[in-house]
Amino acid sequence: MLTHSKMLKSIDERLNEKQPIDRAVLNTRLSHKKFVTRLKRRIELMLLSPFCYFVTFTISSEFYDIKKETIIRKVKEALGGASHWIFNEDYGSENARLHFHAVVSYHNQLDYNTILAIYQYGAVNFRLVQDKNEKALREYLTKLVNHSIKGSAFKLYRSRSAFA
């Protein structure tokens, strides 16, 4: 699991480590740039797969009392058949409801029923990435990167499998 807040030390944390302020600011910027570059590269590689999807997992109101860790475990299980995946937790701007965004790649056509049978805590929306030109690539990258680095998105999870 990549945790954005753990990967990037705050300026306060760097100052507490006795880094001079100019160095703390520079190190924070460099760390953030490296994080975004790695994330973009990973998604670029995923988009080269024959089947790549943008998936959103929501949570129905009757499941709000379930622990977040349980829901995250089910999202990971639902994505288990993918060759690679990366997802983040996010909170809606209007109602502050938890949901998850994922970019998922498969070597073969996705069996939607498998994911829907595993993840039963709310809706699952799938969007096949059909147009893999530079503009489409940039839009998908920007959407996930923006979600993963904005204030409401605290954690980023990824599959452990290595790229060939």
Q: Could you say which architecture CATH assigns to the domain 43-158?
A: 2-Layer Sandwich (3.30)
Is this structure's pTM higher than 0.85?
no
**Segments of the chain with pLDDT less than 70:** 1-7, 133-154, 161-164
- Tens digits of residue pLDDT in 48-82: 888 999 899 999 999 999 999 999 999 999 999 99
pLDDT at 145: 67
DSSP assignment of 45-101 equals HHHTSSEEEEEEE---GGGTTS-HHHHHHHHHHHTTTSSEEEEEEEE-TTT--EEEE
Domain ranges of the chain: 43-158
